[in-house]
Amino acid sequence: MTEAVWEEFPQIFKIDECETLQSEVLKNRTLIIAANRAPVTLVKNEDGEIEFQRGGGGLVTALLGLARYVNARWIGCSITEEDRQWREGVIPLENDEGEILVSFVSPDEESYTDYYNVIANPLLWFLQHSMWDFVRTPTFDARTWKAWHEGYVKVNRLFAEAIVRQIEAADKPPLVMLQDYHLYLVPRFIRETLGERKPYTLTHFVHIPWPGSEDWGMVPPAMRQAILQGLCSNDLLGFQTREDALNFIRTCESHLPDTEVNFTKGVITFHGHDTHVRDFPISIDVEALRELAATDEVAEYRRHFIERYGDRKLIVRVDRTEPSKNIVRGFAALNEMLELYPEHCGEVQFLALLVPSRMEVGEYQNYLDEIMAAAGRVNALHGDSTWEPVRVLVGEDYPRAVAAMQLYDILLVNSIADGMNLVAKEGPTVNLKDGVVILSERTGARQQLAPGALVISPCDIYATAEAMHRALIMPAEERRKRAEFLRRAVEAEDISVWLCWQLKTLAELGL
Ligand code: GDG
């Protein structure tokens, strides 16, 4: 690592510059956000009335923040009966800063299952996270094609119809901000319906990796081309990293006939329409996270962890129970580290905080079983009556996860593939111990954080074990410098920067 790493971080956008951008770009616009998930969770109270809770997370906070400047609507897909009943309503923003209209598209249950549980997850998710095993998966059988036409295409059409209605009703040219891999076909359906009849701008941000064109070559041409044509109907298309953006352009060059691509300018021209392709690395709401980290609830968990694990060095991971997060190899790396360096036996504690995820998908149920078995193996091989090297805590508890992130000596992020990985940004933001981050080179976060982290290749269990050992014996000064780099890198580009880059790009391109 060179000294250049420790240079000052330029603050990319000042807060007031960001606010000016938001109000300037949005002042003559209507804003329409569309994402699979709405920014609210609806629950029935004791009187049978539906109440809402605003969703957490930086993305919701940042996008809802835009509603301060503009008439805004968020369209999501109904998931529960309460969503279906509610259909549409106004959500007030925090601190009385306006409101946002939230509405749902409501596919029938079977269409939703086909769209979400057959095509989006696992098919697209698995493809984009390099999780296919080509000898056995994927298979595109009659069931898959039915799910495509009667699920994915149908739900994308429902979203497009809902957005078109809003564009038609708008008194100012709408800016439509589409989110993620659930909605790849929506932009094309919108353009096919509206043509040039009304002015509007379509942007789309893809939160997950975009693999190389060879991987897309395994998707049947009709499906592949529908996805690429869909995305090439956007005006501005954002990815997490430069490599994802370049991979997308390459995929269009290889698989979308009649396309012109310009790698230098980041422009794809398809049937006379220009799509500008950029990377906008997503981030976290630093201030909100630090506020949460300072609460009594988090402090209580912190006390509990300190009491329970005493002076042991903590290796922490925080993930959904998601195969792409590579949890099993993480335990294998701990096992290898304890075999190579037995002096750490009894001195370290691996704490895995896992949030159950997509349990209705078979692969995910099996993966949770594999995780528990792998943890049990390490404990059986190395543990004794006084020390259990791995503790797995399964459950949804964000304050508990934040407390663990405050206390790690090592944060392990070893994903096989990850669009960004927000845990890699949250950890250094709240950590109190100059902890070391071991970071997979296949996370989007490595684009910004690599110089401060110990970067590993996710399948290389030996390198991961060596990185754990290196972190455990690292001199305090190096730990401090690395932790400071990571902290400042995240502070300099938090979630508001993600949003401002997109708005600035729209302004510069005159979109
Ligand atoms: C997708 C992409 C991309 C942790 N425990 C709980 C909880 N968390 C928080 C984490 C973090 C978030 O959930 C998970 O975000 P990640 O980025 O790590 O991973 P994905 O869920 O796969 O997110 C990813 C992201 O989208 C944004 O674009 O970075 O690459 O895969 O903030 O701390 N949240 C709640 N309860 C918990 O117990 N609610």
pLDDT at 7: 54
Question: Which own/partner pairs from 424-427 qualify as long-range (CB within 8 Å, at least 24 positions apart)?
Answer: 424/449, 424/453, 425/283, 425/284, 425/449, 425/490, 426/284, 426/289, 426/318, 426/402, 427/316, 427/318, 427/486
Per-residue pLDDT averaged across 156-178, rounded? 96
pLDDT at 4: 46
Q: Confirm if 30 and 175 have CB atoms less than 8 A apart.
A: yes
Can you tell me the distance from the alpha carbon of 244 to that of 212, in angstroms, rounded to the nearest whole number?
A: 8
Does the predicted model carry a pTM greater than 0.75?
yes
For residue 443, give the ligand 1 atom closest to its CA: 30
Burial code of 181-217, b = ≥16 C-beta within 10 A, e = fewer? bbbbbbbbbbbeebeeeeebbbbbbbbbbbbebebbe
User: Tokens 């190899």 appear where?
Assistant: 329
pLDDT at 2: 44
Percent of the chain surpassing pLDDT 70: 97
pLDDT at 128: 98
Q: Is the CB of 211 under 6 A from ligand 1?
A: no
Q: Is the pLDDT of residue 213 over 60?
A: yes
What residues contact residue 272 under an 8 Å CB cut-off, 6+ apart? none
Among candidates 323, 312, 492, which has minimal Cα distance to 410?
A: 312
Query: 182, 208, 327, 421: which to mutate for ligand 1, most atoms within 8 A of CB?
Result: 421
* pLDDT range class, residue 10, cuts 50, 70, 90: low
pLDDT tens-digit readout, 266-297:
999 999 999 999 999 999 999 999 999 999 99
Strands (E), 133-257: 174-179, 201-205, 236-239
Can you tell me the distance from the alpha carbon of 285 to that of 490, in angstroms, rounded to the nearest whole number?
A: 10
Can you tell me the distance from the alpha carbon of 468 to that of 438, in angstroms, rounded to the nearest whole number?
A: 8
Q: Is the CB of 247 under 6 A from ligand 1?
A: no
What residues contact residue 243 under an 8 Å CB cut-off, 6+ apart? 447
For residue 56, give the ligand 1 atom closest to its CA: 39
* pLDDT range class, residue 44, cuts 50, 70, 90: confident
Q: Confirm if 481 and 451 have CB atoms less than 8 A apart.
A: no
Q: Is the CB of 6 under 6 A from ligand 1?
A: no
Strands (E), 206-341: 236-239, 259-262, 267-270, 273-279, 313-320
Q: Is the pLDDT of residue 8 over 60?
A: no
Per-residue pLDDT averaged across 305-334, rounded? 96
Among candidates 216, 154, 214, 150, which has minimal Cα distance to 183?
A: 154
AA identity, residue 500 = C
Is the preceding peptide bond at 92 cis, omega within 30 degrees of 0? no
Q: Is the CB of 421 under 6 A from ligand 1?
A: yes
Q: Which helix (H) or strand (E) holds 455?
A: strand 454-456
Q: Confirm if 394 and 354 have CB atoms less than 8 A apart.
A: yes
pLDDT at 377: 97
Neighbours of 388 (CB within 10 A): 16
* pLDDT range class, residue 55, cuts 50, 70, 90: confident
Per-residue pLDDT averaged across 126-144, rounded? 95
Beta strands 201-205 and 40-44 are unpaired
Query: 241, 298, 354, 420: which to mutate for ligand 1, most atoms within 8 A of CB?
Result: 420
Q: Is the CB of 398 under 6 A from ligand 1?
A: yes
| 3 state DSSP class of 80 | coil
